[in-house]
Structure 1
Amino acid sequence: MLLLRLFTLLALLAVSFFPAFAQDILLTGRVQAQATKAAIPFVNIGIRGKNVGTIADENGGFSLRIPAQLAHDTLTFSAVGFQEQSRAIAGAQQHTVVLAEKATALKEIVVLGRTPKTRRIGTTTHSPVIWGQVRDRETHDIREFAKLISLGSRPAELVQAHIFLRYPTVDTLAFRLNFYRVAEGLPGERLIEQAILVRTPIENGWLTIDLTKYDLRLQTDFFVGFEFLPGKEPAVPVTQSKFAQPIFSYGGQFGGAAISRSSSLGAWKREPGASLSAYLTVRQ
Structure 2
Amino acid sequence: MNNTYLTCLLFLILVSNGFSQEIILQGNVTDQNNETLPFVNIGIPNKNTGTVSNENGSFKLKIPSNISEKDTVAFSYIGFKTLRKSVADLIRQQGKSIRMETEENQLAEVVLETKKFKNRKLGRTGKGLGFMHFNYYTAKEKEVDDRLSKEIGMNFKLKNNCRLEKFNFAISTNEFEKLKLRLNIYSLKDGKPQKLMISDNIIIEITNEETGWKSIDLDPYNIYLKKELDEFLVTLQWIESKKSKTKSKFFAIPASKSPLHKTYSRQKAMDEWKSQTGSLSMYLDARCSR
Tell me whether the two structures share a fold, i.e. TM-score over 0.5.
yes
Q: Which residue of 74, 86, 89 maps to 1:88? A: 86
Q: Secondary structure at the match of 1:90?
A: helix
Matched, 1:50 2:47: yes
Shift of 1:56: 0.3
Q: Which residue of 52, 59, 64 maps to 1:67? A: 64
Q: Which residue of 161, 170, 187 maps to 2:176? A: 170
Shift of 1:236: 5.2
Pair 235,267 (structure 1): closer, same or farther in 2 beyond 3 Å: farther
Pair 116,74 (structure 1): closer, same or farther in 2 beyond 3 Å: same
- Looking at structure 1, the residues matched to 66 and 120 of structure 2 have their Cα atoms a distance apart, in angstroms, of 49
TM-score, normalised to structure 1's length?
0.82
**Alignment check: 8 A CA contact 2:155 2:263 kept:** no
**Alignment check: 8 A CA contact 2:243 2:249 kept:** no
* 5+ residue gaps, structure 2: 1-16, 138-142
User: Which residue in the other structure is 2:118 paired with?
Assistant: 117
User: Which residue in the other structure is 1:200 paired with?
Assistant: 206
User: Which residue in the other structure is 1:250 paired with?
Assistant: 253
Pair 170,155 (structure 1): closer, same or farther in 2 beyond 3 Å: same
TM-score, normalised to structure 2's length?
0.81
Q: Deviations over 1:224-257 (max 9, x none)?
A: 12112232x55555xxxxxx63342211122133
Matched, 1:180 2:201: no
Q: What letter corresponds to residue 186 of structure 1 in structure 2? A: K
Q: Which residue of 276, 280, 283 maps to 1:279? A: 283
Pair 67,217 (structure 1): closer, same or farther in 2 beyond 3 Å: same
Shift of 1:165: 0.6
Shift of 1:222: 1.6
Structure 1 or 2, whichever has the larger Rg, is 1
Q: Which residue of 239, 243, 246 maps to 1:229? A: 239
User: Which residue in the other structure is 1:157 paired with?
Assistant: 163
Shift of 1:181: 1.2
Pair 234,168 (structure 1): closer, same or farther in 2 beyond 3 Å: closer
User: Which residue in the other structure is 1:262 paired with?
Assistant: 267
User: Which residue in the other structure is 1:8 paired with?
Assistant: none
**Alignment check: 8 A CA contact 1:144 1:261 kept:** yes
Correspondence list, 1:204-215, <5 A: 204-215=211-222
Q: Secondary structure at the match of 2:158?
A: coil
RMSD: 2.2
Q: What letter corresponds to residue 277 of structure 1 in structure 2? A: S
Q: For structure 1, which segment, 72-81 or 191-200, has the greater mean C-alpha deviation from structure 2 after superposition?
A: 191-200
* 5+ residue gaps, structure 1: 1-17, 238-243
Show structure 1 runs of 4+ deviating over 3 A. Answer: 104-107, 233-237
User: Which residue in the other structure is 2:154 paired with?
Assistant: 147
User: Which residue in the other structure is 1:130 paired with?
Assistant: 132
Pair 41,255 (structure 1): closer, same or farther in 2 beyond 3 Å: same
What percent of counterpart residues are identical?
A: 29
User: Which residue in the other structure is 1:13 paired with?
Assistant: none
User: Which residue in the other structure is 2:20 paired with?
Assistant: 22
**Alignment check: 8 A CA contact 1:164 1:251 kept:** yes
Pair 134,102 (structure 1): closer, same or farther in 2 beyond 3 Å: same
Pair 68,196 (structure 1): closer, same or farther in 2 beyond 3 Å: same
Q: For structure 1, which segment, 108-117 or 158-167, has the greater mean C-alpha deviation from structure 2 after superposition?
A: 108-117
Q: What letter corresponds to residue 80 of structure 1 in structure 2? A: I
